[in-house]
Amino acid sequence: MRRLLIVAAGLAVLTACSAPAPPRSAVRQAQPSGPVTLPAPTGPRPVGTTVLHLTDGSRPDPWNLDADTRELKVTLWYPAARRDGPRAPYMSVKEAELLLRGSGSSTSPASALSMTRTHAVKDAAPAGRALPLVVLSPGFTKPVSTLTSLAEDLASRGYVVAGVDHTYESYATTLADGRVAECLACDSDTDPGFRAALVRVRAADVSFVLDELASRWAHAEVIDRERIAMVGQSIGGAGAVAAMVVDPRVRAGIDMDGTTYARIPQGGLSRPFMFLGSREHVPGGRDHTWDRDWKLLTGWKRWIVLTNGEHQSFTDVPLLARTIGLEPLPGMPAAERGSELTRTYVGAFLDLHLKGRQQGVLEGPSRHPEVRFAVSTGR
């Protein structure tokens, strides 16, 4: 597996577990700016957010050999009853410091990164009932906060979003007692079979979260447990495949630019699935796993490519670039445009498969010239 070095919008040089391209810098130096505000959600509903800390006593932690249980941090975003109130922090200064240091950018201003302005009201009361649930899983070494703009947008459109921080797989995860867990799994990332083991852990984490939400969140009645999907970026996208293989509660899934490591049974996977990739993820490209798995997706499926996109184009990373003094290289889409396209296609997929609303944008070439349907649309 080649490593793709991405100087990630203040997250600096990241090892992208699922990127098959040769090393390539995605940004270049610029004058640092102050904190940025994430793009406003496009839906009509105000957004709230809260954090749950869950402990799985049925299994030891796979990365921390001294831990007899698996601790997880889950961030929920959801339609809120009010728009006013304090906005949730993007991440703490400590988390930003560890993330930047682990990414190779310890001289970048962690305080500016931590002060990225969000739109969700912290601990606001939820509004609505029986809303579909979307599980989000981030790339290796990155916290789920790097998917905040997508999460807030989905919540504004009537979804409950559960973002999972997979402990010890990120440079920084704050646990229930205030300790900040660092990336112990990073010590094993060159071991044979590491990534296959990693997606198995992700699938187990997701199943545990689905088990616990009903009893651990005081407002669990707002979730329709019959309408659940999973969306992941990079290794999180591979985790979406793994979770769907083992847990039938996940009715639909999206892999955003992630090499897949969980094998789909030869009988196929009949639930809806979408590959949403960068220009490196084209049929017959360096990463053969999408070609392999496309044949085993036997239900509704799409393979869509952002032709000028990079591995991080589906995250907040490009939006945060100038906060720490980096700017995109020529040819990359504007950060706001990458965010818009991600929201458009992820939201359309979920609206179709969790809400039953037909989406013309998923039927073939559209008004978005940067987007290409890599293969025929399938069913």
For residue 265, give the DSSP letter: P
User: Structure pTM?
Assistant: 0.91
Q: Where are the domains of the chain?
A: 5-373
What is the separation of C-alpha 183 from the centre of its chain, rounded to a whole number of angstroms? Answer: 17
| Residue pair 151/72 in contact by the 8 Å Cβ criterion | no
> Is the CB of residue 209 less than 8 Å from the CB of residue 51?
no
Q: Does domain 5-373 sit in CATH 3.40.50.1820?
A: yes
Between CA 62 and CA 68 the distance in angstroms is 9
Q: How many CA atoms lie less than 13 Å away from 177 in the CB half-sphere?
A: 4
User: What is the predicted pLDDT for the residue at 4?
Assistant: 27
pLDDT band for 32, please (50, 70, 90 cuts). low
pLDDT tens sequence across 298-354: 999 999 999 888 999 999 999 988 776 666 655 566 889 999 999 999 999 999 999
Cα 35 to chain centroid, rounded: 22
β-partners of residue 351 are: none
Distance set, CA 229 to CA 133, 184, 251, 355 (Å): 6, 28, 6, 11
pLDDT digits (tens, 9 = 90+) for 35-60: 899 999 999 999 999 999 999 999 99
**Contact present, 348 and 368 (Cβ < 8 Å):** no
Looking at the chain, the whole-number percentage of residues with pLDDT higher than 70 is 87
Question: Across all residues in the chain, what is the average pLDDT?
Answer: 89
CA atoms within 13 A on the CB side of 353: 28
pLDDT exceeds 90 at position 25:
no
Give the pLDDT score at 7. Answer: 35
Rounded Cα distance, 317 and 330, in Å: 16
Structure tokens at 267: 């009988």
- Which residue type, as a one-letter code, is found at position 258? G
C-alpha to C-alpha distance for 236 and 232, rounded to whole angstroms: 4
Read off the tokens for 345.
């296609």
Q: Which of 68, 79, 53 is nearest to 216 (CA)?
A: 53
| DSSP state for residue 182 in the 8-state scheme | -
Residue 184 burial (CB count, 10 A): 16
Residue 331, Cβ density class (10 Å: 0-12 exposed, 13-18 middle, ≥19 buried): exposed
State the DSSP H helix or E strand holding residue 244, giving kind and residue range, or none if neither.
helix 235-246
